[in-house]
Amino acid sequence: MNAERAPAPSSEPELAAGRFDEACEAYLERRLPAPATRAFERALLEPALAQRFREALLVRELLGSVGPDAPAGLADRLESLVCDELAREGRGAGASGRGSLLGGWRAALGGLSWTLRGPSLAFTSQPAAPSGAGPFLQGLGTMRYAVPALAEGRAAREPARRAPLWWRLLRGRRT
Amino acid sequence: MASTRSSDGDLSRACRQGDSRAWREVVQRFTPQIYRLAFRMLGSRAEAEDACQEAFVRMHRSIDSFDATRTLAPWVSRIAYHVCLRRLERVAAQPRAGAAEDELEVLPASGRDPERQAAASEEDALVEGFLGELAAQDRALLLLRYRDGLSDSEVAEATGMSVGTVKTRIFRARARLREQLAPLTGDES
């Protein structure tokens, strides 16, 4: 379960409803520990809560079956499109350019552009975010997706050139 | 190999190396999810198909930036979500002509007795109407959470929102839907 909690709803009934809803979600997704599950099931004996639980179930069921299905043949068309891209770039096994500095930077910048696009759109298309939290800062938090590509390349390139710290300290003391 | 599902780590590593079989598997596995998300956000089949295409091209170009220790679904959803947001921004000035007809095609029609079908159609129509009223981002949140089964933190990862924001927006959207369903569920409160 996530350590992060939802911001507190504004009123007391909404708070209670929010907690019950969260418990419903956790119960239906089997995320509740055994004692909490038993307590939740006991609470369902109360008709008002049972009714709320039925509603939660219906909402989940309806949202879970929302369509539409992808049109027939779309996946095949997309498959050939991606294979064409592969062929055009000549990216067979071993030709991915992963080890090169250029490849790492290209991948990182590609990821970075996607990272920044979300927050910038949040500013332009949805100025009134309900949470009030800064969407730009939230988006910057996703920058970690852009970093592994660089880190991977650097780890492969960097040989252990420097002497260990204890050796350098000892040598420093002697001189 | 043909019938088994590769793990996300293996699949992404194979994709990085340009393995066309791995790419085929990615496309087959994620096309339904991306198409649904795109259709719900953009409101038109043609736009959704174009968005799918763009999303896969972008995936292909940025596979090197994917961290193979993570799961693919939130990453794929993030790319698709941002492709759709960009498209929405481009067409923001245009009205959603033809979307209503598209959405009517979505309603399931067969395999139920008339009474149940009528009730189900009422529910489906209600949900369709409800989803139509929501902001595209909220529609995406509900879809990713309930249709695609992503956790709150994965939805946050996909949309770039914080987990708290995701939970609040989903809670509010769900509460609104429950209010609209109240006449059907017999809740008068």
In this predicted model, what pLDDT tens digit does every residue of B125-136 receive, in sequence order? 888 888 888 899
Are A41 and A54 within 8 A, CB to CB?
Answer: no
Q: What are chain B's domains?
A: 8-94+134-185 (1.20.140.160)
A65: Cβ–Cβ under 8 A, 6 or more apart, which residues?
A: B147
Which of B62, B103, B104, B106 should be substituted to probe chain A, the one whose Cβ sees the most A Cβ atoms within 10 Å? B62
- For residue B74, the distance in angstroms to the closest alpha carbon of chain A comes to 11
Q: What are the start-end ranges of the E strands in B93-146? A: none
If contacts are CB pairs under 8 Å, which of residues 109-138 in chain B contact chain A?
123-124, 127, 131, 135, 137
Residue of A14, A63, A117, A138 to mutate, testing the B interface (most B Cβ within 10 Å of its Cβ): A63
Q: Which chain A residues are within 8 Å of B112, Cβ to Cβ?
A: none
Dist. CA B96–CA B132, nearest whole Å = 11
How many angstroms away from the CA of B144 is the closest CA of chain A? 10
In terms of pLDDT, which residue wins out, A100 or A20? A20
Interface test with B, best of A82, A105, A120, A144 (most B CBs within 10 A): A82
Interface of B with A in 26-85 (CB under 8 A): 26-28, 31-32, 35-36, 39-40, 45, 49, 52-53, 56-58, 60-62, 64-67, 75, 78-79, 81-82, 85
What integer is the mean pLDDT of B131-154? 91
Quick one: residue B13, left, alpha or beta (phi over 0 = left, psi -120 to 50 = alpha)?
alpha
CB distance A117–B53 less than 8 Å? no
Which of the residues A21, A74, A77 would you substitute to probe the B interface, choosing the one with the greatest number of B C-beta atoms within 10 Å? A74
Lowest mean pLDDT among A127-141, B83-97, B102-116: B102-116
User: Which distant-in-sequence residues (6+ apart) come within 8 Å of B182 by Cβ?
Assistant: A55, B188, B189
Residue type at A47? Answer: P
- Is residue A128's pLDDT more than 50? no
**Residues B74 and B30 sit within 8 Å (Cβ to Cβ):** no
Q: Confirm whether the ipTM is greater than 0.90.
A: no
Out of B24, B108, B152, whose CB is closest to A2? B152
The pLDDT, as a whole number, for residue B166 is 94
Residues of B in contact with A57 (CB under 8 A): none
Encoding tokens for residue A23?
A: 């418990």
CB atoms within 10 A of CB A97: 16
Task: Provide mean pLDDT across the span A126-136.
Answer: 51
Q: Which amino acid is at A89?
A: E
Give the count of alpha carbons within 13 A of B101, CB side only. 4
User: What's the whole-model pTM score?
Assistant: 0.63
User: What is the residue-averaged pLDDT of chain B?
Assistant: 82
Q: How far apart are the first and last CA of chain B?
A: 54
- Residue A150 C-alpha from the chain's centroid: 20
**Tens digit of each residue's pLDDT (9 = 90 or more) over B163-183:** 999 999 999 998 888 888 877
Confidence of residue A99 (pLDDT cuts 50, 70, 90): very low
Q: How far apart are CA A123 and CA A56, in angstroms?
A: 33
- B160 in contact with A at a CB cutoff of 8 Å? yes
Residues whose CB falls within 8 Å of the CB of residue B4, separated by 6 or more in sequence, listed in order:
none
Sign of CA dihedral B30, B127, B139, B98: positive
Neighboring chain B residues of A81 at a CB cutoff of 8 Å: 53, 56-57
What φ, ψ does residue A143 adopt, rounded to 5°? -60, -20
Reply yes or no: is the peptide bond before residue A164 cis, omega within 30 of 0: no
Nearest CA to A144 out of B79, B67, B161 is that of B67
Is B183 part of the contact surface with chain A (CB cutoff 8 Å)?
A: no
Other CB atoms within 10 Å distance of the CB of residue A32: 19
Across chain A, how many H-helices and E-strands are there? 8, 0
CA B155 to chain centre: 11
- A157's CB contacts (< 8 A; 6+ apart) are A99, A101
State the residue for tokens 């004692």: A35
**Alpha-carbon distance B56 to A97, whole Å?**
20
Chain B residues touching residue A74 (CB < 8 angstroms): 31, 35, 49, 52
Q: Give the mean pLDDT of chain A.
A: 68
| Cβ atoms within 10 Å, residue B80 | 29
Is B87 an 8 Å CB contact of chain A?
A: no
Q: Residue A146 CA to chain centroid, in angstroms? A: 13
Q: What are the pLDDT digits (tens) for B8-61?
A: 889 999 998 888 899 999 999 999 999 999 999 998 899 999 999 999 999 998
Q: Of B108, B110, B8, B158, whose CA–CA distance to A65 is shortest?
A: B108
Residues 134-153, chain B: which have Cβ within 8 Å of A? 135, 137, 142-143, 145-147, 151-153
